[in-house]
Chains A and B, each alone.
Chain A
Amino acid sequence: MAKDNFFSKDRKMYDLRHNREFLSWYKNKMRHGYNSMFNVDDLQRLIDFISMWYYIKYPDRYYEIEDGNVDLDFSNITDISNNMDFNEMLYRLPKNIIGLIMGIYRSNYSGSVPIYDDKGNIIRYEGLVGAEIIKNNQTDGEGLSRIILEARSSDGLVNPNDVKKNFPMVKLTNTNLDLLFDELKELKGFDLTHLMQIIFNHTTDIELRNRLIYYISLKILYNNYSTPYNNYRRSKAFNKEIKENLLIKLDESYLDELMQRELEKQSVKLKK
């Protein structure tokens, strides 16, 4: 495969400090009120760490063995790629980065509650966020009241009983913060600034995460120290694991197209 030709197409979008499009998007979001938890260096470190993680998880020798070219020095090596699962990767990342990857809702009101099994043992802790909603009750002669609505940080799910109690006019029984916001903004008498901030932060976090996934996949693809085909396989493996663990859809067509184009070029050269 024409290695140089393949790598010369690399626009180095994963190099955030020099990715003007990303920098202007990021600054623009912050100008619009996005409270980012990270500076560009933090994000760059994340890209570098995860791309290197996949390089270690699937070293060239791993693919050599898969392709039937066994290096005798490593014929009896224990394959650790199974141990390097998604959870192991998260274990090695800072807490706020894990939050970004998992796409959690965040707020300045946050906490956690223990979740118990049948025997009363704590299995895990569930993260919670609080959304502050100011209710204007002037028509009832009661003035302003402040509601802190608790939601699950993983998916923003709100307790239906809380919704029923605080917003009897809302007919949704199973709702999360986004749906609740859509309902409440149509009604008068609510100050939703805080809730809006949470949702804006969340949607921007998700957008940022998806951009980072794309950049990581490109960084893996254009790793100069491996072959394009091994990089392509690594990048696909990364996307596959992301899809399985985060339950999100990813557009990988750019990867396949790049590889297809490269293979076509190669076959034309061979025919000549």
Chain B
Amino acid sequence: MNFDDLSRFYKEDKKEYDLENNLVFLKWFYKKIKMGYSSYMSVSSLQAFIDKLDLWYRFKYPERKLIEEEGFIEKEFNDIVNVTSSLDHKQLRYQLSYNELKLLDSYYRSNNGYSIVGRNNVTNEYITFNIYKKHISKDFVTDNEFQLSALSTNGKIKDEDLTTILPKEKKLTLDEMYKILKDNHDYDVSELQRILFIHNTDIELREKIFNFTMKKMIYSKSTTPKRGYKRSLSLIKELNSSIKNLNLVSNDIDKIIEDDYISTRELWICKLFKNIHNHIWCKIYLLLIKRKRK
């Protein structure tokens, strides 16, 4: 990639990771807040979180290390200690603030809860919420209140609580319970609905933050797009293996690398094909380039 290719590549950078100027994100974020979402962090704190994650991966996979992997060895740093392996997920968590950890985990949350210390001193956090059932007597309508608890990590409802409402069901999650009760007009499930809305928004926000971080890595001018891409793939691999139910995919960054990381010469040839022959040749040519790169 020459200078022209690089500047063309960086021109494609929409700087989505710059949250204060990312209008699409801001619109989404404040719309969610208007709908009742309570975020763990402000926009500026989320920005700091992105910056921290970006730096963590730059620290873990230093530029010189990646250059060495490409075959260029600098003798000046012969005696450097390789700390990459000791920078595991626990170390990353150690660096993060309380709220950053909360977003990273994105467990189910509600206003009330309790914790139980189980075997091997493992603490299980439970959230509690209420479901109301309309009780119609002769003269007036009253609400029967049911308090339920669910594990914050996976949303599994306690079976003994579940039997009070759905005696036949066992091992239901909050989502499954909502699906069953949402169309039943005898039940008021607004609290449950709010918990699910907040949880899903947490998950969505977390995914956005990780995606922005990956884009920041790729479009960083302190490195090359390829090395940024390598760091991004490591982020996906490490976070997916450490965080339950996280399914980060590399589609977005693959697309950036495949679409934008085409040299001007390749683009010119592609245009030529497009003009002289037809579009299919251009596609075949790009496919061959991609295969060659892999």
Question: Measuring CB to CB, which residues of chain A are less than 8 angstroms from any residue of chain B?
Answer: 41, 45, 48-49, 52-53, 55-56, 59-61, 73-74, 77-78, 80, 83-84, 87-88, 91-92, 94, 122, 124-125, 224-225
Contacts and interface: CB of A to CB of B under 8 A. Distances in A.
Given A53-B59, A94-B63, A74 B94 contact: yes
Contact of A83 (B55, B62, B76, B81): B81
Contacts of B63: 92, 94
A124 B59 contact: no
Contact of A59 (B55, B59, B64, B94): B94
Contacts of B206: none
B77 interface: yes
Contacts of B93: 73-74
Given A52-B51, A91-B62, A92-B58, A60 B97 contact: yes
A56 B86 contact: no
Given A88-B80, A225-B45, 19 more contacts: A41-B221, A48-B51, A56-B95, A59-B94, A59-B95, A61-B95, A74-B94, A77-B91, A80-B87, A83-B81, A83-B83, A87-B79, A87-B80, A88-B81, A91-B64, A92-B62, A94-B63, A124-B75, A125-B76
A56 B97 contact: no
Contacts of A225: 45, 48, 97
Contacts of B52: 52, 55-56
24 contacts: A41-B221, A45-B221, A49-B58, A49-B222, A52-B51, A53-B55, A53-B59, A56-B52, A56-B56, A56-B59, A60-B97, A73-B93, A74-B90, A77-B94, A80-B83, A83-B81, A84-B83, A88-B83, A91-B77, A92-B59, A94-B222, A122-B75, A124-B75, A224-B44
Contacts of A87: 77, 79-80
Contacts of A45: 221-222
B211 to A, nearest CB: 21
Contacts of A125: 75-76
Interface in B63-83: 63-64, 75-77, 79-81, 83
Given A56-B52, A83-B86, A125-B75, A91 B80 contact: yes
Contacts of A60: 97
A52 B53 CA distance: 11
Interface in B81-103: 81, 83, 86-87, 90-91, 93-95, 97
A20 B154 CA distance: 52
A92 B64 contact: yes
**Residue from A52, A60, A74, A224 having most chain B Cβ neighbours under 10 A:** A52
Contacts of A78: 86, 91
Contacts of B44: 224
**Residue from B62, B87, B222 having most chain A Cβ neighbours under 10 A:** B222
A92 B64 CA distance: 7
A49 B62 contact: no
B77 A80 contact: no
Nearest to A98: B76
Contact of A49 (B55, B76, B87): B55
B117 to A, nearest CB: 11
B50 to A, nearest CB: 12
Contacts of B87: 80
Contacts of A94: 63, 222
B25 to A, nearest CB: 20
Nearest to A59: B95
Nearest to B100: A225
